[in-house]
Structure 1
């Protein structure tokens, strides 16, 4: 993975490979104010995060793009996503909820797959929400979750899971409302697609052929491609190429490594092959992409 892109448990804390059944909630100001309201670009290996911005705003770095946001809004961060924040100083506040991916899987089974959809929502991480529509319910749920953590009364872990499930459901409802649907229309996450994404994340540096992934999933290449196309609208090959492209963009933006070093680290036989791949996927060269991000 990208050298020079910090990997944290919570921001500023070393990675915790053993994190399990982990739920944490804090105010945005509590961590951001002591860091000059700047959360530098980093990753979490196995944590989802939900930010509920009540006041203020700022900018989010999401992989290689900058996304402005203004309260009230919701921000969803998936595991391994490169992200950072520059908050408007002294006026921004709200809640940050972090939870390990095992919690997401467990709650997804128990809450109509609402948590499972957070990964899909993270593709467009910033979502405005209307406090008047839910009567302030989402913010109150965040406050209740924080209180359970702070008081640590009997049964608080169970209560935290239940509250987190309700928060995920409320966000799914807000998302459905944004799409002008009268009900939750988000489909459950596809198990085969999710399994493929996990395999790709572990193997994309050395394995680019669909046959490798199809074999690992006990499927033929044609069947895997057809299944992924029906579930997502794109082919399995597209998902593999996009994972390589994401890592390339991270290296170009967040490190100063020479482009030929990036090409070899990503498994390309030579820099010209990498340049052709990058241009085909983005319409620009690696050099042009890096220069544009540094302006």
Structure 2
């Protein structure tokens, strides 16, 4: 996935004026694996960022200590460790009034999932329940596995990338077990692959005004086949998921930026602000202005990037 990693010193600015900062995973050399693991301290201060921002990569956090609130999009979770959390690429997130925050962090891009491509769909499903409070035994097992990931990444011995992918796969499978049967990956097959590709397309561009037909053409199937595949995998229609993605992105922009309602409408693919307002009210039950007033909070935004546990060669 081009553009998801950057060499140290490359600024990670907001992609367009008024947008929240977009953080990329930094690596020391272009040919190194797009992965990093460490503690909150070794990953760096940006792992505790208190202002809304997005990532181009996945982040898994194992919180072992701290108070405050973790905010992802519009969901808020008070910290009562231990927790295991997942932040998906493109989600707006930050730590609010956090004190004593500690634990382990794993960062990786979608390109890292070479050995286990089914993990992409599993991550999407885990993202539906991204915050878990762990019991004692599960906390201990998770801590051991996170420590293995950090140790393997730090040593960088021969074959370390393969070992990291295997350990990450185990972590995702074990996390899926905690979330119940609905978080398990669907059985292999062409319809499931089409639904997975649609979900990935939705995550990347679903808020930019694509139609169902355009999505089907991009994937290389008919609109009817896309509808069948998506309904079989999710129980919903592609159109409903597209509308949900556009509404969710509009919510993120209204809460996390100072863009005007007209600008937000344009960002999510509406030429007519009045039509956008009707769409938004239909999807959320509130007008964009009311929604922003209800969630309005001031957060400082900084032009910084995550030093993703990068190592020298």
Q: Please indicate the TM-score interval, normalised by the length of the shorter structure.
A: 0.7 to 0.9
Residues 126-176 of structure 1 deviation map (CA, whole Å, 9 limit, x = unaligned): 012223257x22211111221122223333333222222222222222223
What secondary structure is seen at the aligned counterpart in 1 of 2:79? Answer: strand
- Tell me by how many angstroms 1:211 deviates: 1.8
Contact 1:108 1:116 in 2 (8 A): no
Q: Which runs of 5+ in 2 are unaligned?
A: 1-14, 298-313
Structure 1 counterpart of 2:131: 126
CA separation of 1:204/1:139 partners in 2, compared to 1, >3 Å: closer, same or farther?
A: closer
**Structure 1 residue aligned with 2:24:** 9
Question: Given the alignment, which residue of 111, 120, 135 partners 1:102?
Answer: 111
**Deviation string for 1:81-118 (max 9, x for gaps)?**
1111236422x3211000111223x2434xxx456412
Q: Does 1:22 align with 2:21?
A: no
Aligned to 1:168: 172
The residue that corresponds to 1:247 in the other structure is 249
Consecutive unaligned residues in structure 1, runs of 5 or more: none
Q: Does 1:44 align with 2:55?
A: yes
Judge which range, 166-175 or 268-277, deviates more. 166-175
Distance 1:20 1:116, change over 3 A: farther
Q: State the partner residue of 2:155.
A: 151
Tell me the residue number matched to 1:82: 92
Distance (whole Å) between structure 2 residues aligned to residue 40 and residue 210 of structure 1: 34
Instruction: Give the CA deviation at 1:205.
Output: 5.7
SS at match of 1:162: helix
Is contact 1:73-1:129 (8 Å) kept? Answer: yes
- The alignment yields a C-alpha RMSD, in angstroms, of 2.9
Count residues in correspondence: 278
TM-score (norm 2): 0.77
Greater relative contact order: 1 or 2 (C-alpha under 8 angstroms, separation 6 or more)? 2
Residues 202-232 of structure 1: CA deviation (Å, up to 9, x unaligned): 5546544222222333333233222211210
